[in-house]
C-alpha cells in the first residue's frame, strides 16, 4: 500500500483523496485545519513550512498539490507553499502533481492548449506561471519529478467561482442574478471530479510527467445559457440575469477583497475563454462529465 499525500481539502483535494482511498491507497490529507473527507488520515499542519511538509511527506509515492490560498493572498501565500512542495518532493523522492489553472496564459485569441505560451497579464497569472516554471526547472534539473493539471472554472460539489457564488444561488431561488461577464461569450467549465481523475491518470503514467495537461472538459457554455439550464435543472423559474459593469465590480471591491481581485481577471469573462483538452482526452481516455451532471451537483451542494 503506497502513501499518497494530498495537500488541501477543497473540492479537488477531497475528490482526489476519495479516489485514492477507493483504490486502496494509504492517504494522508494535509491542511491547516486538519480537515478532509472521512476514511483518510487527516493532519493539521502548515504546508508552507518546508521542514514540516518534508516530515509529513517522508516515504510518500506522490504528492498532490490541491491547496488554494485565499484569492486575495496569492502573491503572499503561494510562493512559500510552492517552494515547500518542491523541497518535499526532492527530499522524499515523491512525484509532485499540481492542480493548476489557466491564469498563466493571460488573454489569448482562440482556444487554449497546453502549447499556448505562458504570457500572464495579471498578478495572479504571474504567480501561477512562476509556480509551474520553478517546478519544471527542478524537474529538468533532475531534482524532482513533476507535472501540472490545469482546468477552467469549476462546477461540482464545493466549487467556488463567480458563477457559483454570484449567479447560481439567485437563479435556483428564482431571483434576479448579476454577473461581471459578457453573458454570451463561450466559457469553459471543468468538473471537479474530472480534475481528480486527471490528476491520478497523470500520476500513473510516467510518460505524462514533465509537462502540463488540460483536464478533459465539456463544450464551452456561455454564462447566460448555463444560468438558464441551471434554472431548468433546479425546477426554478426561468433565469433572470444581467451583466454587471466593471465599474460596479470596482466599487464592490472597496469593501470586498475577493471582488477587488476579480477586476484584473475580467479578460476571462468579457471575451471567449475556451479550454482545449484534446490532448488529455486522447492520452488518458477520460470522457468529461456532461455539463448537466456537473451543474446538478453544484445545485445539490447549495441545497444541502
**CATH number reported for the structural domain that contains residue 62 in this entry:** 3.40.50.720
Looking at the domain assignment, is residue 24 inside a domain? Answer: yes
Tell me which long-range contacts 245-248 makes (C-beta under 8 A, separation of at least 24). Answer: 245/180, 246/180, 248/178, 248/180
Looking at the domain assignment, is residue 158 inside a domain? Answer: no
The number of beta carbons lying within 10 Å of the beta carbon of residue 284 is 18
pTM comes to 0.96
Question: Average pLDDT by consecutive 10-residue portion of the chain (304 residues)?
Answer: 94 97 97 94 97 97 96 95 98 98 96 97 97 98 98 95 93 95 97 98 98 97 98 97 88 80 92 97 96 96 88
DSSP annotation of 235 reads T
Number of domain units in the chain: 1
Find the domain containing 59 and state its range.
Answer: 3-152+190-216+276-286
Cα distance between residue 42 and residue 135, in whole Å: 26
- Output the nine-digit C-alpha cell for 180: 461581471
Residues 6 or more apart in contact with residue 234 via CB below 8 angstroms: 171, 172, 299
Looking at the domain assignment, is residue 105 inside a domain? Answer: yes
pLDDT reported for residue 247:
86
Looking at the domain assignment, is residue 169 inside a domain? Answer: no
Q: What is the pLDDT of residues 29-47, one digit of tens each?
A: 999 999 999 999 999 999 9
Chain length of the chain: 304
Question: Which sign does the torsion angle of CA 140, 145, 192, 291 carry?
Answer: positive
Amino acid at each position: 500500500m503506497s502513501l499518497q499525500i494530498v495537500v488541501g481539502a477543497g473540492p479537488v483535494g477531497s475528490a482526489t483523496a476519495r479516489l485514492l482511498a477507493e483504490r486502496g491507497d494509504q492517504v494522508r490529507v494535509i491542511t491547516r485545519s486538519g480537515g478532509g473527507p472521512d476514511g483518510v488520515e487527516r493532519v493539521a499542519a502548515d504546508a508552507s513550512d518546508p521542514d514540516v511538509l518534508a516530515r509529513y511527506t517522508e516515504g510518500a509515492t506522490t504528492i498532490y498539490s490541491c491547496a488554494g490560498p485565499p484569492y486575495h493572498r496569492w502573491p503572499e501565500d503561494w510562493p512559500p507553499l510552492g517552494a515547500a512542495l518542491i523541497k518535499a518532493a526532492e527530499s522524499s523522492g515523491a512525484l509532485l502533481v499540481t492542480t493548476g489553472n489557466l491564469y498563466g496564459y493571460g488573454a489569448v485569441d482562440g482556444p487554449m492548449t497546453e502549447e499556448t505560451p505562458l504570457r500572464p497579464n495579471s498578478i495572479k497569472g504571474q504567480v501561477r506561471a512562476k509556480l509551474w516554471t520553478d517546478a519544471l526547472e527542478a524537474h529538468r534539473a533532475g531534482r524532482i519529478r513533476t507535472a501540472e493539471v490545469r482546468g477552467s472554472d469549476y462546477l461540482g460539489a464545493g466549487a467556488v467561482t463567480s458563477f457559483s457564488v454570484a449567479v447560481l444561488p439567485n437563479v435556483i431561488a428564482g431571483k434576479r442574478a448579476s454577473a461581471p461577464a459578457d453573458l454570451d461569450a463561450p466559457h469553459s467549465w471543468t468538473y471537479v471530479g474530472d480534475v481528480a481523475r486527471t490528476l491520478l491518470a497523470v500520476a500513473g503514467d510516467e510518460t505524462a510527467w514533465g509537462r502540463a495537461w488540460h483536464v478533459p472538459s465539456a463544450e464551452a457554455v456561455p454564462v447566460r445559457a448555463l444560468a438558464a439550464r441551471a434554472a431548468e435543472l433546479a425546477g426554478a423559474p426561468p433565469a433572470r440575469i444581467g451583466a454587471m459593469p466593471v465599474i460596479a465590480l470596482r466599487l464592490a471591491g472597496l469593501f470586498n477583497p475577493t471582488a477587488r481581485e476579480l477586476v484584473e481577471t475580467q479578460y476571462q469573462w468579457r471575451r471567449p475563454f475556451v479550454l482545449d483538452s484534446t490532448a488529455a482526452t486522447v492520452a488518458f481516455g477520460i470522457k468529461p462529465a456532461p455539463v448537466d451532471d456537473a451543474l446538478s451537483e453544484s445545485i445539490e451542494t447549495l441545497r444541502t
